[in-house]
Structure 1
Amino acid sequence: MRRTAAARLLTGTALAVALTGPVAVVAAPAHASTGGALEVYPGTVTPGTQVTVNTTACGAGGTAAGDASAVGAGAFVLAPSTHPEDAVGQFRVPPGAQPGTYEIVARCDGDEDGGGRLVSGDLVVTLTSTRPPAQPRGSVKTGVGGALGPDPVQTAAGVAALAVAAAGGTWLLHRRARGDGI
């Protein structure tokens, strides 16, 4: 049971005991019962993330009015999706949202299957991402090129130029060491 539902149940029970005294009490939650769950994906987000919610509580072809004002996102609409029985909607968590757990609610439109049901789900906002950091991919564009660059002719010409320079330098050093001069 969620914390908010448990708190409402305890509040309703305490109120019933206070009003009836020491008589046996059958207490109901202090809020209207929900007709199902509101699935929130992803369940843990950082500010600025887009969130998708869906429910089957509204029946086939049902729609709902969503409310994410607890996190500061305001109202959104859940509409029928390609999956039978699902109503789906989206909202974006504001960039200034504070860390915490927020209750997102939706009320089904009053059609024969939906009956105006209230559904809810929890959204957790954190300041750090739950995804692993992205690893770098690809090559570095420095303008120098690689040993096996995209053009094998230019690579072969570069290797040949280096070989000629090395041979010429060796020959000059050999002549100087013998005393022949330059």
Structure 2
Amino acid sequence: MRRTARMLTGTALAVAAAGLSAAPAYGGGSGSLEVFPSTAVPGGHVTVNTKACGEKGSATGDAGAVGAGTFTLAPSTHEGDAIGQFRVPPSAQPGTYEIVARCAVGGKQVSGDLAVTLSTALEGAQPRGSVKTGVGGALGSDPVQTAAGVAALAVAAAGGTWLLHRRARGDGI
């Protein structure tokens, strides 16, 4: 029993040591690369930013996975971010791509995901419901009610015309 416990403890220590030695050389994932918008269409523009490079840090971005190549992230006044942009190539295929940035000082590397779709969420959506145009009034769109309204207007117009005609002839009311 003791021998089994020692063997399991030794195995656990070996696995933990292997995990520590596999840690990234740039010092961990204390920063991230934010991608805006996170979903884009081919031909669309994408902005990326990170705080990982420090207050006035810059970085080189790599969007080669999606086919856009490298781009520069420059320091900005917005909360110490380094910001850059690239254009998704028109030939980009749908999928999720990793966008990477490497800080100029220290070589810290951060990454974020970009999803490419062939259409936006609004394309292909069919309109539903009615449009408020003002036509129809209080009676609604029921054909029976519409016919009754038209008949009431016709009676009022005929009565008004008859009264005006009598007044013009001098018959009085």
Q: TM-score range by the shorter chain?
A: 0.5 to 0.7
Report the alpha carbon displacement of residue 81 of structure 1 after superposing the two structures with TM: 1.3
1:124 is aligned with what amino acid? A
Query: 1:124 matched to which residue of 2?
Result: 115
Report the alpha carbon displacement of residue 85 of structure 1 after superposing the two structures with TM: 1.1
2:34 is aligned with what amino acid? E
- How far, CA to CA, are the matches of 1:45 and 1:94 in structure 2? 11
1:129 is aligned with what amino acid? T
Report the alpha carbon displacement of residue 92 of structure 1 after superposing the two structures with TM: 0.2
Report the alpha carbon displacement of residue 31 of structure 1 after superposing the two structures with TM: 6.0
Report the alpha carbon displacement of residue 84 of structure 1 after superposing the two structures with TM: 3.0
Name the structure where helix makes up a greater proportion of residues: 2
Q: How does 1:25-174 map to 2 (within 5 A)?
A: 25-26=15-16, 27-28=19-20, 30=22, 32=24, 33-110=28-105, 115-131=106-122
Report the alpha carbon displacement of residue 88 of structure 1 after superposing the two structures with TM: 0.2
CA separation of 1:99 and 1:30: change in aligned 2, threshold 3 A: farther
Runs of 4 or more, structure 1, over 6 Å off, are none
When the two chains are superposed, the root-mean-square deviation of aligned CA atoms in Å is 2.1
CA separation of 1:98 and 1:132: change in aligned 2, threshold 3 A: closer
Choose 1 or 2 for highest CA Rg. Answer: 2
Identity of aligned residues (%): 62
CA separation of 1:46 and 1:63: change in aligned 2, threshold 3 A: same
Cα pair 1:37 1:121 within 8 Å, conserved: yes
- How far, CA to CA, are the matches of 1:131 and 1:62 in structure 2? 38
Q: How does 1:14-29 map to 2 (within 5 A)?
A: 23-24=11-12, 25-26=15-16, 27-28=19-20
- How far, CA to CA, are the matches of 1:130 and 1:31 in structure 2? 39
Q: Tell me how many residue pairs correspond in the alignment.
A: 109
2:109 is aligned with what amino acid? L
Structure 2: 5+ residue stretches without partners: 1-9, 126-173
Report the alpha carbon displacement of residue 58 of structure 1 after superposing the two structures with TM: 0.7
1:1-27: per-residue Cα shift (whole Å, max 9, x none)?
A: xxxxxxxxxxxxxxxxxxxxx711212
- How far, CA to CA, are the matches of 2:38 and 2:88 in structure 1? 12
TM-score (normalised: structure 2):
0.58
Report the alpha carbon displacement of residue 117 of structure 1 after superposing the two structures with TM: 1.1
Cα pair 1:66 1:78 within 8 Å, conserved: yes
- How far, CA to CA, are the matches of 2:21 and 2:89 in structure 1? 32
- How far, CA to CA, are the matches of 2:72 and 2:39 in structure 1? 21
TM-score (normalised: structure 1):
0.55
CA separation of 1:80 and 1:131: change in aligned 2, threshold 3 A: farther
1:59 is aligned with what amino acid? G
Structure 1: 5+ residue stretches without partners: 1-21, 135-182
SS of the aligned residue for 1:58 comes to coil
